[in-house]
Amino acid sequence: MEVIRATSTVTRIKLYLVACSLLAACFAVAVPASADNTVSQGFTTSRGDLASGTVMGLQPGGKRIVLPAISNKHYQLLGVVANKPLIALSDGNNQVQIVVSGTTYTLVSDINGPVRAGDKITSSPIGGVGMKAIDAGQVVGTAQEDLAATPTTTRSITDKKGKQHTVKLGTIPLQVAVGDYAGVQNDSKLNGILPPAFVTFARSIGGENVSPLRVLLGLIALIIGFIVVGTMLQAGVRSSIISMGRNPLAKKTIWQALTDVSLTALGVLALTFVAVYLVLKV
């Protein structure tokens, strides 16, 4: 009887192992090996030609419409167009699946220099293509491989000054994790001395990718401008009061001179704002 029971136990164990093998095989068929180990979410888009790996951003307006992200536009980064996500969340038709978590292949370029494993990736001047993040701003994730280790293609682009540049484009694995980036180490040291209100104001003008160094230069230019304007107004008012006390009959001429000084001060203030805008925007 003991031998029969032992044999029966061994048989049940074998059947259990066979069942586990069949379940594993069924799971392997249900989830292809080529699928990304990612979670994606559906978003509405007006573009029907989106390639997998495209970096996407949310169009301003709050309508959940997404477009290929471009660095000089105020798009909130969302993620990367999915290839074969493991889990896809959707609430309607005609949507594009965007990877919001996990590792997926992403289009990147060397516009901001060679991309290496561990670099933060942000949007670039080429729509839907990422680049290495240098300045502070939003990033879409972290590179998991060197761009130089993957096949690349070349493309010519023209900068704001009309000069042409040749850049390399390719796809690399990216750990998708949208968030804020403080910039390179030297720039990040400036974050502690910049007024938060001015940083917010500066990024509303220059965009999320404006560096702390440029924010600091803009703040210095603004302070200098206010000092110059304040000095001019103080000197003009003081001179007018003294002149009016010495020669009350010249009141009209004194007021005219004070008006001229005030207009000049307003002109200097306007030039200061233009200088700050150029520092933050160009």
- For residue 152, give the CATH number of its domain: 2.40.300.10
Instruction: Give the bridge partners for 140, in sequence order.
Output: none
What gap in Å lies between CA 98 and CA 65, rounded to an integer?
A: 12
pLDDT digits (tens, 9 = 90+) for 186-219: 445 555 566 667 766 776 676 555 667 777 888 8
Domain assignment of residue 26, yes or no: no
165/231 same-domain check? no
61/131 same-domain check? yes
145/219 same-domain check? no
169/96 same-domain check? yes
Domain assignment of residue 73, yes or no: yes
Burial of 135-165, coded b for 16+ CB within 10 Å and e otherwise, reads bbbbbbbbbbbebeeeebeeeeeeeeeeeee
164/211 same-domain check? no
* Number of domains making up the chain: 2
Query: Which helix (DSSP H) or strand (DSSP E) does residue 125 occupy?
Result: none
158/201 same-domain check? no
Contact criterion met (CB below 8 Å) for 115 and 131: yes
Domain assignment of residue 9, yes or no: no
Instruction: Give the bridge partners for 38, in sequence order.
Output: 102
Helix (H, G, I), strand (E, B) or coil at 52: coil
44/129 same-domain check? yes
Contact criterion met (CB below 8 Å) for 36 and 102: yes
pLDDT digits (tens, 9 = 90+) for 79-116: 899 876 655 555 555 578 888 888 999 999 998 888 98
Instruction: Give the bridge partners for 96, in sequence order.
Output: 43
Give the domain extent around 257. 196-281
201/151 same-domain check? no
pLDDT digits (tens, 9 = 90+) for 147-179: 989 998 988 877 667 778 788 999 999 999 888
For position 49, what pLDDT does the model report? 74
Query: Quick one: which of 97, 5, 94, 85 has its CA closest to 42?
Result: 97
For position 210, what pLDDT does the model report? 64
Q: Across residues 1-19, what is the average pLDDT?
A: 44
Is the pLDDT at 3 greater than 70, yes or no? no
For position 184, what pLDDT does the model report? 56
Residue 226: CB atoms within 10 A of its CB come to: 13
Domain assignment of residue 255, yes or no: yes
For position 72, what pLDDT does the model report? 76
For position 216, what pLDDT does the model report? 81
Residues 24-33: contacts with CB under 8 Å, at least 24 apart:
31/86, 32/84
Contact criterion met (CB below 8 Å) for 32 and 86: no
Is the pLDDT at 13 greater than 50, yes or no? no
147/243 same-domain check? no
82/130 same-domain check? yes
Residue 19 pLDDT grade (very low, low, confident, very high; cuts 50, 70, 90): very low
Q: Give the tokens for residue 83.
A: 């290839």
Helix (H, G, I), strand (E, B) or coil at 38: strand
168/139 same-domain check? yes
Contact criterion met (CB below 8 Å) for 168 and 147: yes
Domain assignment of residue 16, yes or no: no
57/108 same-domain check? yes
